[in-house]
Amino acid sequence: MEQKRPTDIFQELLDYLWNGLGLEEKGWKRLKNNTAIVNWARSNYNKNQPSPGKSSVPYFDFSEISGAYDCTNFVSHAVLAGGAKINDTGGSGISSTGWYYRNINNRSSSWSGVDQFYNYMTTNTKANTAYGTTYVYSHNGGMWNLGSVMQFDFDGKNGYNHSTIITKRTSSDGRYYAYVTGRTGDNNYNNNKSADEMSPGYNPRVINVYNR
């Protein structure tokens, strides 16, 4: 019998309290454990083989596929580590629905695709699964948190092309500045990099992920 990790036990306790108290029916938004997201990202961004965000979901490095990158897969595991709920729609092959990973040949495109992750999170309405609210990044710190997802458009031509986790914030004169951690592949990562310096000509977007 597989031994449960402390984070999995904690998540089960949260599920019990959430469902038992009927908080969703009362209009509450269910926050993830953003500290766990940040801790997982900071612990794994520079590893050649990151740990899974949850023991039941294996970590496959998408940069091993020719022409592919690992950034959104890394983000999916990070929010999974914080308790984001998977939506396995039961498909075969590469599914255009849901948000899940079983193996490299059986998964959703939203697990590893930048725009697909965004589209899924911001349109999903299924109960007891992850979803997201989105904003254009600004220096208003009330619009994003540590543990939020930040995506970048580097050229302004073909949509957004890089996903990261906000892992640090500073403030000056009432303005808040985000710093991000991400992983593109082996020895190719963002280490608490300033979001303002990452893509100065184009506005990043933020996704705050919750559970329904």
Q: Give the pLDDT of the chain (212 residues) as one tens digit per residue.
A: 445 555 455 555 655 555 555 555 555 555 568 999 999 999 999 999 999 999 999 999 999 999 999 999 999 999 999 999 999 999 889 999 999 999 999 999 999 999 999 999 999 999 999 999 999 999 998 899 999 999 999 887 878 999 999 999 999 999 999 999 999 999 999 999 999 999 877 889 999 999 98
Q: Are 151 and 144 in contact (CB under 8 A)?
A: no
Beta-bridge partner residues of 180: 166, 193
Q: Which of 195, 203, 119, 136 is nearest to 164 (CA)?
A: 195
Q: Are 91 and 101 in contact (CB under 8 A)?
A: no
Going by DSSP bridges, is the β-strand pair 175-185/162-172 parallel, antiparallel, or unpaired? Answer: antiparallel
Give 29's Cβ-side CA count (13 Å radius). 11
Q: What is the model's pLDDT at position 155?
A: 82
Going by DSSP bridges, is the β-strand pair 106-108/175-185 parallel, antiparallel, or unpaired? Answer: unpaired
Q: Which amino acid is at 148?
A: S
Q: How far is CA 182 from CA 16, 47, 81, 91, 94, in A?
A: 32, 11, 15, 29, 24
**pTM of the predicted model as reported, rounded to 2 decimal places:** 0.85
Radius of gyration of the chain from its Cα atoms, rounded to whole angstroms: 17
CA–CA–CA angle 137, 194, 197 (5° rounding): 85
